[in-house]
Structure 1
Amino acid sequence: MRPTSLALALALGLPALAGAQSTARQLDAVVVTATRSPDASLAPLAATTVLTREDIERSQAPDLIDLLARQAGVDVSRTGGPGSVSTLFLRGSNSNHTLVLIDGIRVNAAQQGLYDFANLPLERIERIEIVRGPRAALWGSDAIGGVIQIFTRDATARGVQLRAGSFERREAAAQWGFGDGERAFGIGAGLIDMEGYNASTPANFSFDPDKDGFRNRHLGLAGRTALDRQTLAGRALFTRADVEFDRGESEVRNRQLGATLAGPLADRWSHSLAVGHDRQDLLTRSSFGSRFDSRRASLDWVNDVALGRGQALLFGLNHSEEDATSKAASGSVVYDRSRRNTGLFLAWRGQAGGQSWDLAARLDDNSQFGSTTTAQAAWGFEWGQGWQARLGWGQGFRAPSTNELYSPGFGGFFAGNPALRPERSRNLEAGLGWQGGDSRVAFSAYRSRVADLIAFTGPLFQAVNVQQAELDGVELEGHTRLGRLAITGHLGWQRAENASTGAALLRRAPRKAALSLDLPLGETFSLGLDTTAAARRQDFDGPLGGYARVDLRAEARLGGGWVLRGRLENLLDRDYTLASGFATPGRSGLLELAWQPRS
């Protein structure tokens, strides 16, 4: 069945619209992405970061990529202001080495193999889970550096947000839902409009000293209903963005639809059956105009069987079909390609005394590249008052994207290569953590090797498989309180190199740090300070200088569910660059007035 026909069947069969992990929404303390299971008794043996709705609101981040940039193991690059192309590097891996899910639906675009975080508004997000390290044995292709799963707003969420800020920024969003644990329906919508600032610098070949604006419209729907012992849930997310850049403009449309039937099949056997559809259309109007259309339809069936004695068996299948089309500005078809992938996976997890383990294996059959097997194994040990040690090993792989295979490039530059082989990786990791009361600390060390790494290199920057990439690093995270002052931060060191040449992989900082201070002043007012620092890193035409940035936050609760928030970004007005030839904002401000009903 082609993606279009599966999407039509999905649309005709949906009594409600929703995502593939709805059962996990009632289990906020559970990290479902690391294990594909909502079993709270088995903690994930992986380096994870969880951002709740409360964390998102407290951060006052202007957009999703800015929020993710402050997380451990993450480097970001963006070509201008809000809405401009934004990429993310997890643990030094390539930007298309991170699998991105929205409510369980895979959203990595078929053409580029990555997801552009720039056009998903924070107002549509309830929770984010970041799992660092390969997860191919559970999720399949693309999960070499890790997995980021975004959960959209719950069906019962209510609230209003109004924002205004620098660069003539104006935002409005509202969410309204009703129901209970068994039946609920919600709708949310919003808009973002800003005049922006000049996205490029004079070093850019297309420099034009004008303002580059951004407009975004978004709509989310969610619903669920109980069917005897099962829960039928549905979600839909629509975004449309218009992004201006020097000498051009892009129109970006994203649509994700999904439905899930989940619940117990027997006393010790639960399941989740999910169908999903992802569509992404990118139209660029410029001297190098183009159109990219990406379609993917998917079916996931995950089964969780409790074996007793603290053990569980997880098994399931995944099937996806994707179409990728590339057109020139004239409308002529550059390529139109389809492929499908079927994966079967099995995992055994358990704990006994202070020990826990997690073993998983997967077989993928790809219509273009044949069969691939991946596996992972992890062991953990807890002792004393809150101490845990863990060891992990895992494999990953990624099938080349259609642009990497078939793109003619620009005058021969950045052209694809139909002879490319899939990338494969192996990873070793060790971790040590402690948690007690309001304090916690975690240390991770990892060593990854990526064989047949796809890179654009040579005189014309064409796609080739380089021999191997080496990714090594350590991460230190912590949180504590000194009286009423909350302190959260992380430090990271990494080495990301092409093993054949010793050259550093681009736009990845060898050292990075972030620190946040939160101080409540009475019952209604609080202050926050965020600092971020990154070391010098390499780009296409030379090094990007290191930088440090300081942001100031304040929040005042006005009563009746109203909250006033203010953020001053880049307080010291420092110059810094995330991508060569592209500008970043200087000192800027953002003011927010929000309301949500009190519990």
Structure 2
Amino acid sequence: MTFTSRFAPAIPLLPLALAVMLANHAAAQSTNPAPSLNKVVIAGETIQSTTENTQVISTTEVEKNQVRSWDDLVRYTPGVDVDDSGRFGSTGFNIRGMDGDRVAITVDGLSLGETLNPASNAPYEFFSAGRSGIDVDAMKAIEVIKGADSITAGNGALGGAVVFVTKDPSDYLNPTGNDTHVGIKAGYSSANEEGLVTGTLANRTGSFESLLVYTQREGHETESFYSGKRPNIAGTAREIPDPVDFDNDNLLFKLYFNANENHRLGFVAERYNGNTELNNLTRVSSAYLTRTSDDKTERERYGVNYLWKANNPFFDELDARYDYQESYSLGHTLMTVPTGCPAGANGPAVAPCYRTEHRDFDQALHKALLHFDKKAGDHSISYGVSAEKKSVDYTDVKTRYVGTTSEVGVGWPQLGSDFVPNTDVEVYSLYARDQVALVNNRLLLNAGVRYDHYKYSPQGGAQFSDKSGTVGEVTFSSPTWQLGASWNLTPEHVIWAQAGGGFRAPTVENMYFSPSTSIATVVATGQQVDLWNTVSNPNLESEESRNIEVGYRWQGERHILGVSAFRNKYSNFIDYASFVRNADVEYQTCNAGGTGCSNFFGDTYEMLDNIGEVTVEGIELEGRWAITDDWSARLAWSWTQGEEKDGTPLQSIMPNSGVVGLAYDAPNGRWGVNTNFVRSANKSIEDTIPVNDFNMTAIPTDYFASDNGFTVVDLQGHFNVTRNFKINMGVYNLFDEEYIRWQRIRFANQGSAAGGARGGISGDGINRYTEAGRNYKITLAYDF
């Protein structure tokens, strides 16, 4: 089954955008030469991080590395990975061992939302709401922040943050005067047969600037090393990935009105629509004769913004903005099952029969922000206030059919119980940061504070049951801070240190995941009562991190070498714990027939609580060397280890990894070539001890570890055929290495196809998690 976009009835952005753009293009009379993308400057879009271990990935790097996905984005950034969640793709980034909602992801200051994937339901893979819905071709810069920095990214920046900044018209246009830029890019990737086309149109006519970026992608499953080498069988022993067809498109539109040099009014609209169809052959078993899915991810955003260069005593610039964003995730599963088949309106039950699970999660966000910047002597001050209102809505529809027809069985469809209640969340935030340069700019100090206040208001609903009475309105606050200093010992030698904190507010799933109860009899009185099994915790607090990092940097005219060491301590980790109430009360429960009864004292139940503590420490190395005017080299390495309070290794820690790169750029600038050696250590069996950390690991029956490290070599090149026509090419995994990444198999286990995580593995089924062998990408870009 295929579902059309639920945002389709919204404002027809593409015709509107094209009309505005083409009108401006017709009015423009520019004779300027073909422009190129200007140097990236992140200003006015977000609070730039002041942490020393921050990497900004520009559009130039995205193009050179032919980035197609989040995996590609951080391929050459040791210490940063992307977590794989199987059928539903990525759950987000992993930075220094923190992942999922513990790493903030924002686009122009807007959070991508929160995940919904209850641990008790995850092994069946019927539904998972991750954080996605953006396309890298619409971004002019991506800021990867290692370590806590809630001043910049807010909620979720517990272990770090990834800050996306969308493109602007001025990135393509000359600084002044009427101008127009038109660009088209086409690309192909052999690993998943992805084809992409991106069109870019930027224009300035008088006081108006506009931009339209549209990208469309289509492809299939990413190959494993064994694709084409192993038979196309079904079941847990399958050694090649399940067949996948995907297509997505992304639209970014911006329009600015520059009233004068001090006032600018802007409008922005984004729309992402992604669809993935999967033939889940690894799940085929006696329980599922067939299993296919049709999943959808959508994100839509509209915003207005106002920039005022006031230069008054209180601020030099004011950035005021309002944004509305809606994120939608759908998991639709169609199965052929041998039992549990319903009768039809005019006939008996027929087996086998179709069964569908239709689950979706909708998040709507309104955010208003006032951000101020002020330069006062040696001080660079930023401060602001924001208000957010978010609503979440979950739906579960189950349907059974008469045989393998489209006739719905008697009594179906049925609404399933909601994972979470419909909930409104209000957030109010204040923040301030100051950077001051002293001692002739040799000493740089920075300090920041932030305060966030949360209010959760669950609305319940007919499909959400709370017999425990523990679900209710909750408020709490999260103050955080940051301090840092860097000292130029000499013009070439710098030492620096920083300390700070981050926080992660509980998600709606953490706060209110469906409580469950059971009926028992109080022996002393004969009264029937509801015993708690799992309940909500109204006293849940945000998770917190405290990090300390020191570093040294040696920088000359042709080289830079930096080394840093960090120690992060995380507290208030949210995890399930067992509790007992009414310990002195004797209860009795009996089976359905009343023939078997048991007595016990106390009501034992599970509840999420702030009980976990984790320590992560590591060392990172980064160096670049301009060997000659044409040759350059790069080195980066990350070593990280982490454990819980009791010494249990933290499974979300990725293996130590590094990159060595060598690049040549011809003197005329027309062509260049670079190679990267990507090295990853192994994930030892001793570091994969099963633990029960909520949203950090599953508890499969058996674990697989990447026993051997690997080295992968990538070779890339670019060639400017003309000033307007450019080609980027790359061969990845040049020497056809067979390898498995830990983040791909972290949740894989031996088990049944019906209930095992990722469908379970038997025989040599682990081979389907190997990475693609030698593969290539090519991108053609033309500007006019």
Give the TM-score range, shorter chain.
Answer: 0.7 to 0.9
Structure 1: distance between partners of 2:576 and 2:710 = 27
Give the residue type in structure 2 aligned to 1:295: A
Q: 1:291 aligns with which of 360, 376, 388?
A: 360
SS in 1 for 2:157: coil
Q: Judge which range, 481-490 or 461-470, deviates more.
A: 461-470
Structure 2: distance between partners of 1:53 and 1:592 = 14
Q: Say whether the 8 Å CA contact 2:714–2:730 is kept in structure 1.
A: yes
Identity %: 17
1:149 equivalent to 2:163? Answer yes
CA distance 1:409–1:516, shift in 2 (3 Å)? farther
SS in 1 for 2:148: coil
SS in 2 for 1:403: helix
Q: 2:52 aligns with which of 46, 49, 54?
A: 46
Q: Say whether the 8 Å CA contact 1:198–1:212 is kept in structure 2.
A: no
Q: Judge which range, 524-533 or 328-337, deviates more.
A: 328-337
Give the residue type in structure 2 aligned to 1:371: S
Structure 1: distance between partners of 2:44 and 2:566 = 22
1:441 equivalent to 2:561? Answer yes
Structure 2: distance between partners of 1:63 and 1:181 = 37
1:558 equivalent to 2:743? Answer no
Which residue does the alignment assign to 1:68? Answer: 74
Q: Say whether the 8 Å CA contact 2:476–2:541 is kept in structure 1.
A: no
SS in 2 for 1:471: strand
Structure 2: distance between partners of 1:45 and 1:404 = 29
Q: 1:28 aligns with which of 13, 26, 40?
A: 40
Which residue does the alignment assign to 2:324? Answer: 277
CA distance 1:141–1:84, shift in 2 (3 Å)? closer
Q: 2:134 aligns with which of 120, 131, 154?
A: 120
1:193 equivalent to 2:218? Answer yes
Q: 1:212 aligns with which of 227, 244, 252?
A: 244
CA distance 1:115–1:385, shift in 2 (3 Å)? farther
Give the residue type in structure 1 aligned to 2:431: F
Give the residue type in structure 2 aligned to 1:253: E
Give the residue type in structure 1 aligned to 2:89: S
Structure 2: distance between partners of 1:115 and 1:386 = 48
Structure 1: distance between partners of 2:720 and 2:270 = 30
Q: 1:381 aligns with which of 487, 494, 507?
A: 487
**Aligned-residue offset at 1:242:** 1.0
Structure 2: distance between partners of 1:66 and 1:379 = 33
- Paired positions, count: 568
Q: 1:357 aligns with which of 445, 448, 461?
A: 445
Q: Say whether the 8 Å CA contact 1:87–1:115 is kept in structure 2.
A: no
**Aligned-residue offset at 1:530:** 2.1
1:586 equivalent to 2:773? Answer yes
Which residue does the alignment assign to 1:21? Answer: none
SS in 2 for 1:77: strand
CA distance 1:266–1:470, shift in 2 (3 Å)? same
Structure 2: distance between partners of 1:91 and 1:224 = 39
Q: 2:197 aligns with which of 158, 172, 184?
A: 172
SS in 1 for 2:64: helix
Q: Say whether the 8 Å CA contact 1:272–1:303 is kept in structure 2.
A: yes
Q: Judge which range, 110-119 or 93-102, deviates more.
A: 110-119
SS in 2 for 1:329: strand
Q: Judge which range, 220-229 or 101-110, deviates more.
A: 101-110
Q: Judge which range, 274-283 or 239-248, deviates more.
A: 239-248
Structure 1: distance between partners of 2:498 and 2:108 = 26
Structure 2: distance between partners of 1:68 and 1:461 = 38
**Aligned-residue offset at 1:207:** 9.1
CA distance 1:587–1:116, shift in 2 (3 Å)? farther
**Aligned-residue offset at 1:562:** 0.9
Give the residue type in structure 1 aligned to 2:389: E
Q: Say whether the 8 Å CA contact 2:107–2:165 is kept in structure 1.
A: yes
Q: Judge which range, 167-176 or 155-164, deviates more.
A: 155-164
SS in 2 for 1:559: coil
Which residue does the alignment assign to 1:509? Answer: 654
RMSD: 3.6
Structure 2: distance between partners of 1:239 and 1:572 = 36
Q: 1:325 aligns with which of 385, 389, 393?
A: 393
Structure 2: distance between partners of 1:279 and 1:486 = 44
Structure 1: distance between partners of 2:44 and 2:559 = 23
Q: 1:106 aligns with which of 111, 123, 129?
A: 111
Q: Say whether the 8 Å CA contact 1:138–1:362 is kept in structure 2.
A: no
Q: Say whether the 8 Å CA contact 1:473–1:495 is kept in structure 2.
A: yes
Structure 1 residues without counterparts, runs of 5 or longer? 1-7, 18-24, 38-42
Q: 1:471 aligns with which of 593, 616, 628?
A: 616
Structure 1: distance between partners of 2:234 and 2:548 = 43
1:232 equivalent to 2:265? Answer yes
**Aligned-residue offset at 1:125:** 1.6
Q: Deviations over 1:230-254 (max 9, x none)?
A: 2222322211111234232311101
SS in 1 for 2:740: coil
Which residue does the alignment assign to 2:379? Answer: 311
CA distance 1:197–1:432, shift in 2 (3 Å)? closer
Name the TM-score, length of structure 2 as normaliser: 0.66
Q: Deviations over 1:523-564 (max 9, x none)?
A: 433222122222233475424313332222122221141112
CA distance 1:288–1:542, shift in 2 (3 Å)? farther
Structure 2: distance between partners of 1:248 and 1:416 = 32
Q: 1:55 aligns with which of 35, 55, 61?
A: 61
Give the residue type in structure 2 aligned to 1:28: V
* Rg comparison, structure with higher value: 2
1:480 equivalent to 2:587? Answer no
Q: Deviations over 1:55-98 (max 9, x none)?
A: 111112332332123214302222469x8335311122232122
Give the residue type in structure 1 aligned to 2:396: A
Structure 2: distance between partners of 1:67 and 1:134 = 20
1:492 equivalent to 2:516? Answer no
Q: Judge which range, 177-186 or 65-74, deviates more.
A: 177-186
Q: Deviations over 1:281-301 (max 9, x none)?
A: 000012654211111111111
